[in-house]
Chains A and B, each alone.
Chain A
Amino acid sequence: MEDQSPAGIKEVKKYLSFNLDELVALPLKAKPLRFTKSSFEKRVFHNLKQHSSCIDLQKKFQYKEEIRKLLLTTTEIKELPKAILKLSPLSSFETCHVLVHEKGKPVGQNYFFNYSNYEETRLISIQSFNTLFNLVKKSKNKIFNQSLNMKEDLDVVGNFLAKEIDLKNYSVIYLISRNSFLPPSQEEQEFFQGLSMHLQPLLARILDKDKNDLKKEVLRKSLENFPEKIFVKKNQQIIFSNHNNDGPVENSHLMVFPIEGEDHTVMELSNLSKDAISTELYHSQRVSLLGELLNTLQHELSNPLFGLNLTGQLLASDAPDEETKEILNEICTNANRSQTIIKNFSNLYNDQQEYKKLQVYNFIEEVITLTKSETKEIQKCIECVGFEKTDKLEIKTNSTALTQIIFNLIINAAQAIKSNSENVRNHKIVIKLIREGSAITIAVVDDGPGVKPELAKTIFEPFFTTKDSGTGLGLSICQNLARQLGSKIHFQNNTPFPGATFSLNLPLA
């Protein structure tokens, strides 16, 4: 089998000529070494067995393969002591410790295994660890005996072999003992020491993995303890939830986040528990801030506007001619109007918990005033159905919340119209007030493009938006506010003409 041998055999012959050190240094991923299970390898070994001089080589291959197996199968640091003891060159040893210290941590871990299948993980003080580590590092033959004052930490009797491994984030010591004073053979020592170069990359890998697992664990714990319901879904299947007993919550209460790097996986966060936090909290903070701002504004503008009004009246009464008088009256009227607007603004944003009676028609008129700049050029009107404007129908409600709702619905209607038409003057928004017995329905009807049927179900979901600059919170906040008022916003597309209608029903006072 000299020169005519096939390429594979040449390769094996090359490896067979290596001594142990060279073999150990071979890259582990090199394919040609994975031949123990092949019939080819058996044949080679069979041939080798014919020559007693080759038995050593065969052993070395076996060892090599065992190390490979250890490296491939060990995934956790606590499995390592057992795996080391299983290696046949170390078969006469009874106990194994793997001591790990993550640099910067106050304690180290001591993983232990003995041949009566006893497994244990305990802590080791950093002082003991460092003492041992330095001792091992300085030692040449790596043989120690129990005269070392480390009985508390190490379960060994007599001599033991120890080797240190210094990693970027960890210091590791592995040590084995046969629990006797019999010194280890040269062969065992060599093997033991040679092991370190294989263990080094393995340890680096699994220790960091442990660290990542810890991170995951911490993350999982914090998700589990999150006060709101969380569901993580992959392909619509729940793969994680912090509320095992409850069913999934309604869609309209959810915030949904896709998880980066994971296809078809989303995290759903219920944003409506007892205290209704998240978006609502954000919203209520915004509203109360706005309320304060408007209050200040009202007071600051009120005085000068009143001054304008007074002066105008005074001058008008002394005006030399009709034209001047008219102009001065106009000033008064405008000052008055400004005052009314700012007053209504701050009335609309008053105490968020307060329920008071308000006249529906006037209320809607005021809200329309608020939307003026957004709905510029679009016609707006209020239609009363089943009653007259002069009936002064009243509802008892929270004006801040209701203003928000109607305001948003009108703005949405205006934006829908603008998105679809150049000539917004031809369009109009109708606010229909429909009396139905002791209740009234407020409907905001636009003649925009309407909502695509496939999107109809999702429009109330948080973060759903069709607008480039939208937050997608408007309608979901409105729906939450409506719920606070004991109502619900309904949506339907208009027929036969295009457009959308959003409506809610409230009891009359």
Chain B
Amino acid sequence: MKRILLVEDEPLIQKSLKKLLEKKGVEVTVESRGREAIQLILNQKFDRIICDLMLQDISGFDVIEESKARFTIAEISKLFIIITAYSSPHVIEKAQQYGCLLLSKPFENIEEALAIFLSEGAQ
């Protein structure tokens, strides 16, 4: 686990998570807009993409959908981890369709959350 892309538009969460992850010794790229995130995903190599769902321009699911241009479903399910404050049944179901792990904000235990982000390939 070397490079992580964090797509999150809430500045405090973005900055803190970046710091916390960097402390664990990984390189973190942050992005708050969905469209820019897609470009990064298509053109750069990341070992993990942590993606918020409610972005200012498009939704996190759109970002994942666009990533299909480069990745298979199987790859996507391991690459992406969705973080959201709107964990409605509908959202959970959709995340399951991509096979992605979903973490609800606020995280109950930050250390656990960090561990999940750093794990090699989520289930």
Contacts and interface: CB of A to CB of B under 8 A. Distances in A.
B62 interface: no
A328 to B, nearest CB: 12
A302 B54 CA distance: 12
A299 B86 contact: yes
Contacts, number: 42
A309 interface: yes
B113 to A, nearest CB: 10
A314 B85 contact: no
Interface string B83-98: 0011000000000000
A464 B86 CA distance: 42
A308 B14 CA distance: 11
A313 B110 contact: yes
A303 B85 contact: yes
Contacts of B20: 310, 314
Nearest to A314: B16
The A interface, classified by DSSP as helix, strand, loop or mixed, is helix
Given A310-B20, A314-B19, A314-B20, A302 B106 contact: yes
A316 B10 CA distance: 20
B2 to A, nearest CB: 22
Interface string B1-41: 00000000011111111011000000000000000000000
A307 B106 CA distance: 9
A306 interface: yes
Contact of B15 (A305, A309, A311): A311
A339 interface: yes
B68 interface: no
A308 B110 contact: no
B34 to A, nearest CB: 16
A307 B12 contact: yes
Given A309-B106, A314-B20, A339-B106, A302 B85 contact: yes
Contact of A304 (B10, B15, B19, B107): B10
Contacts of B54: 303
Interface residues of B, number: 17
Given A306-B10, A307-B16, 16 more contacts: A302-B105, A302-B106, A303-B10, A303-B54, A303-B105, A304-B12, A305-B106, A306-B13, A306-B85, A306-B106, A306-B107, A307-B10, A308-B12, A309-B106, A310-B110, A311-B15
3 nearest CB pairs, A to B = A307-B12, A310-B16, A306-B106
Nearest to B113: A310
Nearest to B15: A311
A308 B16 CA distance: 9
A306 B15 contact: no
Q: Is the interface of B mostly helix, strand, loop or mixed?
A: helix
A305 B16 CA distance: 13
A354 to B, nearest CB: 14
11 contacts: A299-B86, A303-B10, A305-B106, A306-B13, A306-B85, A306-B106, A307-B11, A307-B13, A310-B12, A310-B16, A314-B16
Contacts of B105: 302-303, 306
Interface in A277-307: 299, 302-307
Nearest to B85: A302
Which of A303, A308, A314 has most B Cβ within 10 Å? A303
Contacts of A304: 10, 12
A314 B85 CA distance: 20
Contacts of A314: 16, 19-20
Nearest to B11: A307
B59 to A, nearest CB: 14
Nearest to B17: A310
Contacts of B86: 299
Contacts of A306: 10, 13, 85, 105-107
A225 B25 CA distance: 77
A304 B54 CA distance: 13
> Which of A302, A313, A339 is packed against the most chain B CB atoms within 10 Å?
A302
B84 to A, nearest CB: 9
The interface centre, meaning the residue of A302, A305, A307, A313 with most chain B CB atoms within 10 A of its CB, is A307
A303 B20 CA distance: 17
B85 A311 contact: no
Contacts of A307: 10-14, 16
Given A299-B86, A302-B85, A304-B10, A311 B106 contact: no
A308 B10 CA distance: 10
B12 A311 contact: yes
A313 B10 CA distance: 16
Contacts of B106: 302, 305-306, 309, 339
Interface string A322-352: 0000000000000000010000000000000
Contact of A303 (B13, B15, B19, B110): B13
B17 to A, nearest CB: 7
Nearest to A301: B85
B104 to A, nearest CB: 9
Contacts of B13: 303, 306-307, 310
Contacts of B12: 304, 307-308, 310-311
Contact of B85 (A299, A308, A309, A313): A299
A313 B14 CA distance: 14
A311 B8 CA distance: 14
Interface string B57-83: 000000000000000000000000000
A310 B6 CA distance: 15
Contacts of A308: 12
Nearest to A300: B85
A304 B85 CA distance: 10
